[in-house]
Amino acid sequence: MRVEIVDVGPRDGLQNEEKTLPPKVRAELCDRLAAAGVSRIEAASFVNPKRVPQMAGAEEVMGKINRRPDTRYAGMALNERGYERATSSGVDEVRYAFPVTETFARRNQNMGVEEATEVATRLVRRAHSDGVRISVTLAVAFGCPFEGRVEPKTVLEIAERVGAARPDEIVLADTVGVGVPSQVGELVEGVHKLGITVGCHFHNTRNTGFANAVAAIEAGASVLDASVGGTGGCPFAPRSTGNIATEDLVYLLQGMGYETGIDLEALIDCAEWLASHLGKELPGQVYKAGAFEPVSG
């Protein structure tokens, strides 16, 4: 079985870093990920640079990427203006995200859940008309730093409304890393029943990210987000830490017999390169420990 991995390092991975990397370096990160065999890359975030200065110059990033025909380059959008900027920059895919809790939705993008859901429906229809792929991410689907536990029923009701517009994919995001495998299984199975491709986005804040990733695949998800080196975090979520590391996830999945199409050694080199540019050791483990041929069966 093949699992598609979306590296969100150039966007989610860098948006919470103290050191801001210039567009040229962020574009090179995309090039290095693509050369390692990553087929989908979240290259930029088309958000207000005053709110997230690390993501300034999104159009410049897209313009400097040496695009490969076998790689899909995505842009994150939080509203219709972001969608327009992303599509004008030539992205292959728009990834629209919104929180499923009222408090976080208003803090993150200055609108309520109802309005954000309506925006999702409109953007999916626009993407269909524009011939652009679109995925919709439901943030804080497993728990919110402001409102606490999020009931699965709430998430699935929103997913059903979004799913009616037929996006290419619905992504369930554990934005603050509070989920556990039993929750993952319930939500993935629920969205999978809608007949839409299910993706998952896990943070390893409480060291459950990789267990959740395995649970997601076993429950029917076919797409997983990850960030090279395990970088990441949300500027608007207190104590939010990094995503699951792409190289750690590739090691895990390939060792279990799943196909990813990614060259692990090249990905490790990419993590080392990013660590040097950020000037620090990254949270990922495999780039430090190295690969190893697991015993099968």
Q: What are the residue ranges in the chain where pLDDT is below 70?
A: 234-240, 294-297
Is 297 part of a structural domain of the chain? no
Write out the residue range of the structural domain in which residue 23 sits: 4-289
200 in catalytic set: no
Q: Which residues contact 192 (CB under 8 A, 6 or more apart)?
A: 198, 219, 220, 221
Is 202 part of a structural domain of the chain? yes
Per-residue pLDDT at 297: 39
How far is residue 137's CA from residue 74's CA, in Å, rounded to a whole number?
13
Asked whether the beta carbons of 266 and 37 are under 8 A apart, the reply is yes
Per-residue pLDDT at 236: 62
Is 169 part of a structural domain of the chain? yes
Per-residue pLDDT at 118: 98
Is 294 part of a structural domain of the chain? no
Q: Which of 144, 200, 234, 270 is catalytic?
A: 234
Dihedral angle sign, alpha carbons of residues 50, 171, 211, 244: negative
CB atoms inside a 10 Å sphere around CB 234:
23
Is 296 part of a structural domain of the chain? no
What total number of domains does the chain contain?
Answer: 1
Per-residue pLDDT at 210: 98
Residue listed under structure tokens 């104590």:
239
Instruction: Look at phi and psi of residue 166 and say left if phi exceeds 0, alpha if psi is from -120 to 50, else beta.
Output: left
Instruction: Give the CATH number, domain containing residue 225.
Output: 3.20.20.70
The pTM of this model reads 0.96
Query: Which residue, 54, 67, 64, is CA-closest to 9?
Result: 54
Per-residue pLDDT at 240: 67
Residue 85: its H or E element? helix 80-88
Is 182 part of a structural domain of the chain? yes
Per-residue pLDDT at 238: 65
